[in-house]
Structure 1
Amino acid sequence: MDARHEHRTLRALGLADAPRDHPLSYPGAWPAASGLLRGDELLPLDRLTHPGRTPVVAVGSNASPAQLRHKMAELGVSSPIPMVKARVTGIDIGVSAHVSRVGYVSASPVDAPAVTRELFVIWLDPEQLALIDATEPNYDRVLLPAPGFRVELENGEALLDAFAYVNHHGVLHNGDGVPRSHPGQRALITELLEQSPALRLLFGSTPEEFCARARADARLCEQGTRLFAEEKMVTASGLEHLRVR
């Protein structure tokens, strides 16, 4: 490795742990600034927009360089991914109403017209986009149309088209029908287990037990997903009307 880039490795930047390997770290560490993910490095970007690539707003682990690297490596894809910080208006970060096969309860966008969040836009080439689509079986990739949604880059430029992954099971709510926010994996699982004796019977009483059991049994994950609906913990994200890719 070029010595000039040693300080740009994911390990050196504190970004090396992928939630797929460390589920309680979900959504994983996000970069402090925009960058170009190239293998195990996060390098400076020379521009913010990337014609020929599809911009996707990441609300969960797709904003984690380690998670993206993990997904790409599984299928031998090595092309770089631009990751650009943006101010996104119109969505907030909710909780997907499913238990992931890799051991966590992930995030999903919810309709929030008055909310502006600092998120990442990942710019994917056709091969990368097909791969990410394939890793999101519980999600639909939808278009976030302007002016109802605004995706503003660091230079003030607003994207006319951007996409996001919306969970097709719906999202979890707080008991009042209002989508709950995602507080991070350990806090979320602790809250869910405290609220549901049936969930504790399936997954144990601690976040560690939950993750271990989920990772060990795909059928248990499916049971957990059904349980969310059976216990009326699920509501709509408010984004169901958006056009699926």
Structure 2
Amino acid sequence: MEEHAKQPRHDGPDRTLEALGLAEAPRERPLSYPGAWPQMSGLLDGDRLLPLIRLVHEDRTPVLAVGSNACPGQLRHKMAQFGITSPVPMVKARVTGIDVGVSAHVSRLGYVSASPFDAPGVVRELFVIWLDAEQLAVVDASEGVPLPHGNFARAWLPAPEVRIELENGEPLPGAYVYVNRHGVLHNGSPAPRTHPGQRALLTELLVTLPRLRKLFGTTPAEFCARARADRRLCERGTRLFAEEQLATASGLERYVRAQQPGSPGTPANGK
């Protein structure tokens, strides 16, 4: 039986994304990236986030969200492109062994996205989204997985190398995650840097990289506007990160395996 069919009625508190402050999609407002995350686990059902009955969904694929895939507004936007209305369970998790870095590419959506990197001993609160086959194909396409030169590859992170505990303490045997094929950024040290949020990140990059300012302007808002308007400009920005020797390996490349996901098509405004 479908998860949404099991949900009780919720005629009390307003569970709409708008009321919960979770409706905004970074695809529409890039400076909001990675978007608002829920405070607790829930079932994304259309424009509502409902309480979950269970945390593990054996008939679905667990995907660890480190960026905007943990934003209900962003997920809803991705699914709406293909008319998909089936619900998505979003489960809060305590993850040990990775941290959230900065993708070494400029997205056509107007931001510099998050990407995981290997970080033994580091503990982060993230979300596991449980996707059915159709939903997984959409998210894969949005990350460029099916494309030979797409920005992300989907990789399985096995326990115990990466430990994922759901909010009830139950461990998972592993989960998929999207690893950036360009690597991640560092800020002068050998180790990857963490993602501070879009406005802070772009402000810092524009201050320290004159060539980036020449391409994308002097303010975060100007950067986003130019990036959204020009695919080739985004490709030049991605090359600039490599030429400035700011890109480094995430340490998760060893987990990347050849994927053959189904895909309803690659969105025109995908990452």
Report the TM range for the smaller structure's normalisation.
over 0.9
Distance 1:147 1:73 in 2: 36
Partner of 1:216: 229
Pairwise CA distance, 1:14? 0.4
Equivalent residue for 1:155, pick from 140, 161, 168 = 168
Q: Choose the corresponding residue for 1:120, options 122, 127, 145.
A: 127
> 1:67: which partner in 2?
74
Determine which of 181, 193, 201 is the counterpart of 2:214. Answer: 201
Structure 1 position 178, deviation (Å):
1.4
* Residues in 2 aligned to 1:167 and 1:206: alpha-carbon distance in whole angstroms: 25
Identity within the alignment, %: 71
Counterpart position of 1:141:
154
The question of whether the paired residues in 1 share the 8 Å contact of 2:163 and 2:174 is answered with no
The residue that corresponds to 2:5 in the other structure is none
Q: Which moved more, 1:206-215 or 1:5-14?
A: 5-14
Q: Tell me the residue number matched to 1:55.
A: 62
Q: Does 1:232 align with 2:239?
A: no
Secondary structure of the structure 1 residue equivalent to 2:174? coil
How far the C-alpha of 1:209 sits from its partner, in A, is 0.3
Could you list the structure 1 runs, at least 4 aligned residues long, displaced by more than 3 angstroms after superposition.
none
Aligned twin of 1:89: 96
Question: 1-side partners of 2:157 and 2:135: how far apart?
Answer: 20
Q: TM (normalized to structure 1)?
A: 0.98
Query: Quick one: distance in 1 between partners of 2:248 and 2:84?
Result: 36
Per-residue CA deviations over 1:213-233 (Å, capped at 9, x if unaligned) read 000101100000000001101
User: Hey, what does 2:18 align to over in structure 1?
Assistant: 11
Displacement of 1:116 in angstroms is: 0.8
Q: What is residue 4 of structure 2 aligned with on the other side?
A: none
Query: 2:105 aligns to what?
Result: 98
Paired residues of 2:24 and 2:73 also in contact (CA < 8 A):
yes
Moved more, 68-77 or 171-180: 171-180
Shift of 1:177: 2.1
Q: 2:39 aligns with which of 32, 35, 44?
A: 32
AA of the residue aligned to 2:211: A
Partners of 1:106 and 1:82 in 2: CA distance: 23
- SS of alignment partner, residue 255 of structure 2: coil
Q: Tell me the distance in 1 between the aligned counterparts of 2:192 and 2:256.
A: 21
The count of corresponding residues between Structure 1 and Structure 2 is 244
Q: Tell me, yes or no, if the aligned pair for 2:67 and 2:113 is still in contact at 8 Å.
A: yes
CA contact (8 A) 2:162 2:174 kept: no
Residues of 2 paired with 1:181 and 1:149: CA distance? 18
Moved more, 171-180 or 59-68: 171-180
Give the Cα separation in 2 of the matches to 1:77 and 1:127: 8
Residue type of the alignment partner of 1:38: D
* Partner secondary structure for residue 112 of structure 1: strand
Aligned counterpart, 1:45: 52
Q: 2: CA distance between counterparts of 1:29 and 1:5?
A: 23
Distance (Å, rounded) in 2 between the aligned partners of 1:67 and 1:5: 25
1:7-28 superposed Cα distances (whole Å, 9 cap, x missing partner):
1000000011000001000000
Asked whether the 8 Å contact 1:6–1:12 carries over to 2, the reply is: no
The alpha-carbon deviation at position 5 of structure 1 amounts to 6.1
The verdict on how the C-alpha distance between 1:31 and 1:142 changes in structure 2, with shifts beyond 3 A counting, is same
The one of 115, 119, 132 equivalent to 2:139 is: 132
Alignment RMSD, CA only?
1.1
Gaps in structure 1 of 5+ consecutive residues: none
